[in-house]
Amino acid sequence: MTDFLLSRRHFLAGTGALAMMPRVSFAASPEALTARVATAQIAPDSYPATEVYSYGGQFPGPMIRAKQGERITRELVNDLPVPTSIHWHGIRIDNAMDGVAGLTQEAVPPNARFTYDFAVPDAGTYWYHAHTNSMEQVARGLYGPLIIDEIDVPDVDRDEVLMLDDWRLNPETAQIDPDFDFPMDRSHAGRYGNLIGTNGRYGYRLSARRGERLRLRLINAANARIFGLKLQGLTGWTVALDGMPLATPEPVDSEIVLAPAQRVDLIVDVTAAEGEEAMILRFDDDEQWRVQVGFDLSGITAIRDTASAPLPPNPGMEPVDLARATQLEMRMEGGAMGNMPMGRMNGQMMGFREMVSGGMYWTLAGVAGMEEAPFASLSKGEHVRLKLINDTIFPHAMHLHGQHFREITDGKQGPMRDTLLSLPGETTEIAFVADNPGKWLFHCHMLGHAATGMTTWINVS
Ligand SMILES: [Cu+2]
């Protein structure tokens, strides 16, 4: 919250001064978001600070916050030694602003600038991150929270963003492991870190009063890690997934699974009694529950005696007409210990070994990586169902840009999401209305998988 208030005040002060000047100079001076090298204390204090790629010197990047229906304007200033671009994850955005280098824009070279300017139709919890060589740039720190407030915000005492991540650090120097091409990561489960934290820090803690009602916005910013989480001393409801409100809040009574790029909004009461602790726990690599976020509790207020109301719906949340939907199918193949499929790469059919020597390990619908032709050409407004067959022994977090979808289970449509966790050997089906024109990426958000074959696109016109 503090960061938001500071940046908001700064922004207001800035516009106040600019209001005295001719309007054209305001339009020519959007707020800068400077990508540059910085340091951050990710590891415990006894370790050195870590060199990161940052937005504005902060890690995670500054919170960008707007009211539903407003516009967001930021000028990306690239002070990094490498080209970059920004994707506004989960926003049903104007295609030209989607930030995908090579598809919706050219990457912004070092010392160059690019102005992002877009409307935000949906309230909810989103995030922004690099979409040029994302496998490396996101792991180096290029991401931040993007929060769109409802016109009528829910009744909570506090609103907190929790960006979960893991980092692969050299255990002596606390510097980020620079080997992003390690085949074992790319062909297996992806790049996992050896230090897990929240909001850019190991051992992140929040203060709260017993009895308070909190809105917790959890964002998985990790390269590949799937978080399994549970609450202790906190009792409440899931109110939104991937930014989109649930029609009915669901009590949190089991493990919360958060795949890379997924978000969950919780509204929880601090129900820990005097002498008890409140925390968010994660199921760790050694199968122990460990503290992901701890709460320093003080004071006491009366717990509300009413359940959380649902968040107001976003526009365009009507279900898909499954009867008239175009049926598509996509098989995911490849990876270590998989069925070693033939695949098309750069327009040529080849065997798996040949693909691997070209740096590709995975195929989507028989194709490794981007091609000139889209996986599907859809008409604006077309209803679509897409069967996803995970014919690999690894989980994948499939993300569609530009529109949300619903998972179909036993003929019923689940909540709207933008990222689906597909488990090994599992067949799932998603449905969506292709109502946003443009070239939209569909890819695995295990970023090492996306870089080595699991990236394709659809065209909506
Ligand atoms: Cu994957």
Output the CA 395–ligand 1 centroid distance in Å.
Answer: 6
Q: How far apart are CA 134 and CA 201, in angstroms?
A: 21
Buried b (16+ CB within 10 A) or exposed e, 289-322: eebbbbbebeeeeeeeeeebeebeebeeeeebeb
Output the CA 398–ligand 1 centroid distance in Å.
Answer: 7
Output the CA 422–ligand 1 centroid distance in Å.
Answer: 9
Report how far Cα 188 is from the mean position of its chain's Cα atoms: 21
Output the CA 336–ligand 1 centroid distance in Å.
Answer: 12
Mean pLDDT of all residues in 124-153: 98
Q: What is the reported pLDDT for 214?
A: 98
CB within 8 A of 22, min separation 6: which ones? none
Output the CA 189–ligand 1 centroid distance in Å.
Answer: 7
Selected residue with higher pLDDT from 186 and 407: 407
Output the CA 230–ligand 1 centroid distance in Å.
Answer: 24
Output the CA 396–ligand 1 centroid distance in Å.
Answer: 4
pLDDT at 415 over 70: yes
**What percent of the chain lies above the pLDDT cut of 90?**
90
Output the CA 249–ligand 1 centroid distance in Å.
Answer: 30
Closest residue by Cα to residue 461 from 442, 441, 435: 435
Output the CA 348–ligand 1 centroid distance in Å.
Answer: 22
- Tokens 């709207």 belong to 416
Output the CA 362–ligand 1 centroid distance in Å.
Answer: 8
Selected residue with higher pLDDT from 453 and 5: 453
Output the CA 397–ligand 1 centroid distance in Å.
Answer: 6
pLDDT at 21 over 60: no
In contact, 160 and 136? CB cutoff 8 Å:
no
The token pair at 27 is 């339009």
Side-chain half-sphere exposure of 223, counting CA atoms within 13 A: 29
Output the CA 378–ligand 1 centroid distance in Å.
Answer: 24
**Mean pLDDT over each residue of the chain, to the nearest integer:** 93
Q: What is the reported pLDDT for 269?
A: 98
What is each CA distance from 313 to 126, 241, 264, 284, 417, in whole angstroms? 16, 12, 16, 35, 14
Q: How far apart are CA 258 and CA 121, in angstroms?
A: 24
Q: How far apart are CA 289 and CA 282, in angstroms?
A: 5
Output the CA 448–ligand 1 centroid distance in Å.
Answer: 8
Selected residue with higher pLDDT from 220 and 4: 220
pLDDT at 424 over 60: yes
Q: How far apart are CA 196 and CA 72, in angstroms?
A: 31
Output the CA 224–ligand 1 centroid distance in Å.
Answer: 8
Confidence of residue 28 (pLDDT cuts 50, 70, 90): low
Where are the extended beta strands (E) located within 171-262? Answer: 195-198, 205-210, 213-220, 227-232, 234-241, 244-251, 256-258
Output the CA 45–ligand 1 centroid distance in Å.
Answer: 34
Residue 30: asked if its preceding bond is cis (omega within 30°), the reply is no
43 three-state secondary structure: coil
